[in-house]
Amino acid sequence: PGLSYTWLFNNNTLDLREDSRRFVSQATGNLYLAKVEPWDVGNYTCAVSSTQAQRQVWGPPTALTLRGDGVMGEYEPKIEVRFPETTYAAKGSSVRLECFALGK
């Protein structure tokens, strides 16, 4: 509880208010892109904020590229964040939350 997720595209915050092709789940942090276009190619970075800790952290950039052959491979394209349901930490300690991507 108290976590919120934002995604950056090429170091700029994704503005999703009027974008029906992209969606960020505030329950999981997953970024969903529908009907990928050439202008979607670039680096995506997940930012996780905690209001309680008054802190924001960023994951490493994840590159999205298009395949020219149309072959999707084993996974459908998606970028997602996975966290355990509960993460425990002692006050004053550091916690690492990781973002990663699956797809081709």
> Per-block average pLDDT, block size 10, for the chain (104 residues)?
85 82 83 85 89 83 79 58 67 68 52
Whose CA is closest to 59, among 89, 87, 88, 79? 79
Residue 11 has what pLDDT?
92
What six digits make up the tokens of 52?
Answer: 């309680």
Whose CA is closest to 57, among 99, 20, 86, 17? 99
Residue 10 has what pLDDT?
94
- Using CA atoms, how far residue 13 sits from 9, 36, 43, 83, 98, in Å, is 6, 18, 12, 22, 19
Does this model's pTM top 0.75? My answer is: no
Residue 12 has what pLDDT?
92
How many CB atoms sit inside 10 A of residue 53's CB?
A: 13
CATH number at residue 33: 2.60.40.10
Domain of residue 76: give its range. 3-102
